[in-house]
Amino acid sequence: MRTFDAIVIGAGQSGPFLAARMVEKGMTVALIERKFLGGTCVNSGCMPTKTLVASARAAHVARGAGDYGVTIPGEIGIDMRVVRDRARTVTMNARNGLIGWFDGMQDMTVIYGHASFEDARTVTVNGERLTAPRFFLNVGARPTIPDMPGIADINYLTSTSIIQLDTLPKHLAVIGGSYIGLEFAQMYRRFGADVTVIERGPKLASREDADISDAIADILRAEGITVQTDADGIAFAKSGNGIAVSVAAGRPDVLASHVLVATGRTPNTDDLGLDLAGVATDKRGYIIVDDKLATNVEGISALGDCNGRGAFTHTSYNDFEIAAANLLDGEDRKLSDRIPAYALYIDPPLGRVGMTEKEARASGREILISTRPMSRVGRANERGETKGFMKVIADAKTKQILGAAILGIEGDEAIHGFIDAMNAKSPYPVLQRAMPIHPTVSELIPTLLGDLKSV
């Protein structure tokens, strides 16, 4: 049996960086990864998908070049093999960078294999037993495959397998109208496929306010994407060379060449032997952690997607920062201190931070709200990209910003003005009095704040 100061299971966006920090402090660390370093972000999430998004945007801009006085003779073609290979290159460069980094650490032992607990201080991997006083679980999540009629009879795609396509679907049916599904829907429409989004609920991006959700649907429909909500009868059947997707009673089937199942994610916790270690999970399989990422078993912590406290690369990395600060730097950081923020990478993107309007109203506060269409943002008009709008919500009494959304050009970057102000706990008049740079999207933030009104 080999003994380490700490064992990290899973090499996503928390584990490797925490392992490196512990090694810097003189600890011996084993990093166990069953497949690839970098986790979902590097291998099947952010990096390859946003590379594909960039290719899709290039095609979209090229098709509209004439609107800017740029003439491109002939039709715009898509070489899906080049598109796929470009995304693969970005992934491999990042993965190989991690491999090279860890190869240079003397007290780091990287083990490829599946780890499973024997007890709260021992795991087995590749037939070998390893022990340590501390364990950090960063095992991530995988696409959820719901139990829908006929799904076992078809060849469906997931967010992991679709990035390997080197041919263009004729008609892609996207099952699920949340963030992952919507990004792929617009992407493949821009590549040239017919696309239908099928969502069980009444609206797309269900965690958003109705005005944001409606605007997202309008953006996608304007590009020729069919959106079908209230799809309460989803089922599948082979039909010739395609797949017939039943949507709901009284509605015609969607005949698709390919089906992408994008209905959420499931934590990779079912085969870790957590019961043998005594680690508690919730009914969905997420590892239950406290405000400092500790499980109910002393010495075992869970970071990243598997703890259910965030489903993004940046939340996973922040888990690392919290764990490292508390373990190695003598700090007292908590999950409850962070303000939720994320983006939806359709084009234009949605940047979001803090509460929605619905959440703010439910909190019982007296709130102020301001909105501004992107058609009244100079940068958006200059770029010819005026879809979407800006929105901010503030507390009328404390003047603290409660939440904000920017659905529009560069919204994923401009939202950081609100993120920074909220983390600094600055009342909104401070941000309102700032002098922003012209011409930018962010320059309209003070104007937006100046239009706050009671609701």
**E strands along 193-307, which residues?**
194-198, 226-228, 235-239, 242-246, 254-256, 258-261, 265-267, 300-302
Is 338 within 8 Å of 347 (Cβ atoms)? no
How far is it, in rounded angstroms, from Cα 265 to Cα 45? 12
438 labelled catalytic: yes
**Amino acid sitting at position 401:** I
CB contact burial 200-220 (16+ within 10 A = b; e otherwise): beebbbeebbeebbebbbebb
Cα 209 from Cα 326, distance rounded (Å): 36
Question: Tokens for 363?
Answer: 């909190």
Listed residue (218, 212, 240) closest to 353, CA to CA: 212
Instruction: Name 171's bridge partners.
Output: 194
* Active-site residue identified among 60, 171, 258, 438: 438
As given in the structure block, the two tokens for residue 310 are 């965030």
Q: What is the DSSP letter of 107?
A: T
**Beta strand pairing call for 128-131 and 122-125:** antiparallel
- Measure CA of the first residue to CA of the last residue in the chain; give whole Å: 65
Active site residues: 438
